[in-house]
Amino acid sequence: TFKKSALPEQVVVGKNGWLFKGGHQLDVHRGKFQLSEKELQQTVQEILRRKNEIEAMGAKFYLSIAPLKANIYPENLPDNTVPLNPITYTQQLIHAIQEEGITYIDLFDLMASLKEEQLLYLKTDHHWNDFASKNAAEHILKRIRQDFPTLPKGNLKDFRTEQVEYDGMSLAQMIGMEEVLKDTFVILHEKENKQIKSLSHNYPIPHDFPFKEEYVVKTKIEGSELPKIMVARESFATPFTKIFP
C-alpha cells in the first residue's frame, strides 16, 4: 500500500486512498495558528467595512466559509495528524463576526450531515465536488431567500448525477501518482435550460491569473426579474456560477 509522500510538506498521504494538502492548509485544520486579538479585530473591521459599503448601496451582505477537506473527513487523515489547539483561527473568526452581527452562513454542519449520503470531496484534490457545491449553494440561497422571498427554491431534481472515474488529480499529480491513485468525480448535469445568457464585462483581470475565463463570470436569466446577486469567491465557489439561479 502506498503510504509515503514524495513531497511530505505539500501532500499528505491519508487512509483509504485519500490525499490531503499539507503545509499551511493542514496547519489551519490542526489549529497551529491562532489570531491575536489585534489580528482578529483587524480582520473583522475589514469585513465590516465591506459590509457597510455594500449595504450603503442598498444590498445585503452575507459571508460563508467553505470547509477544508480535512474538516469533513478527518478519519482519513494519517494517525499522526492530531489537533494542536482546541479551536482553529477559522473558528475564532466565525465567532468574532457573529458577535458583530455579520450574517454568516455555516457550511461545516451541512457538509458533515451530507457525508454519509454522498462523496463530497475529491480524494486526490483539495476541492469539493459538484454534489457538495450544489448543496452548499442551495443552503446559502435558503438563507438569502429569507430576505428575498421571490428567489426560486433550488431542487436537486433539476440535475442528473453522474459518477465518472478519472486519473488522480492535482495532489496525486504533484507526487507522480496520478495513474495509480484514481478519483471519482460526482458531476451534476442540469436537466433544464434556464435560459442563462453570458454577459460581457470590463473588469480588469490580473495578467498572471491562470484561469482568466473564471475570474469574472457575469450571467443573466432571460426574461427574469429576480434580484441580482454578486459573489466574491475563490475556487471553491466557482461551481456556484452555474448553480445559482
- DSSP of 207-228: TT-S-HHHH---EEETT--PPP
Q: What is the pLDDT of residues 202-226, one digit of tens each?
A: 889 898 988 888 888 888 878 888 8
Percent residues over pLDDT 70 in the chain: 94
Rounded Cα–Cα distance for residues 191 and 170 (Å): 29
Contact status, residue 185 vs residue 18, Cβ threshold 8 Å: no
- Of residues 207 and 198, more confidence is placed in 207
- Averaged pLDDT of the chain: 88
Torsion sign (Cα): 227, 233, 235, 237: negative
Closest CA to 158 of 77, 47, 243, 80: 243
| Whole-number pLDDT of residue 192 | 64
Contact status, residue 47 vs residue 96, Cβ threshold 8 Å: no
Report how far Cα 210 is from the mean position of its chain's Cα atoms: 19
Highest average pLDDT, of 4-8, 109-113, 126-130, comes from 109-113
| Whole-number pLDDT of residue 227 | 87
Report how far Cα 206 is from the mean position of its chain's Cα atoms: 22
Q: What is the pLDDT of residues 99-125, one digit of tens each?
A: 999 999 999 999 999 999 889 999 999
| Whole-number pLDDT of residue 1 | 45
| Whole-number pLDDT of residue 155 | 55
pLDDT at 95 exceeding the cut of 80: yes
Rounded Cα–Cα distance for residues 174 and 189 (Å): 29
Torsion sign (Cα): 143, 144, 147, 149: negative
Q: Cell digits for 130?
A: 459538484
Tell me the three state secondary structure of residue 103: coil
Please report which confidence band the pLDDT of residue 154 belongs to, taking 50, 70 and 90 as the band edges.
low
Q: What is the pLDDT of residues 40-88, one digit of tens each?
A: 999 999 999 999 999 999 999 999 999 999 999 999 999 999 999 989 9
Closest CA to 105 of 69, 145, 158, 74: 145
Percent residues over pLDDT 90 in the chain: 54
Contact status, residue 220 vs residue 199, Cβ threshold 8 Å: yes
- Of residues 31 and 189, more confidence is placed in 31
SS (H, E, C) 14-46: CCCCCEEECHHHHHHHHCCCCCCHHHHHHHHHH
| Whole-number pLDDT of residue 71 | 96
Rounded Cα–Cα distance for residues 155 and 220 (Å): 20
| Whole-number pLDDT of residue 193 | 58
Rounded Cα–Cα distance for residues 196 and 185 (Å): 25
pLDDT at 162 exceeding the cut of 50: yes
Closest CA to 111 of 164, 74, 166, 144: 74
Where residue 136 falls (left for φ over 0; alpha for ψ -120 to 50; beta otherwise) is alpha
Q: Cell digits for 82?
A: 492530531
pLDDT at 195 exceeding the cut of 90: no
Rounded Cα–Cα distance for residues 17 and 3 (Å): 9
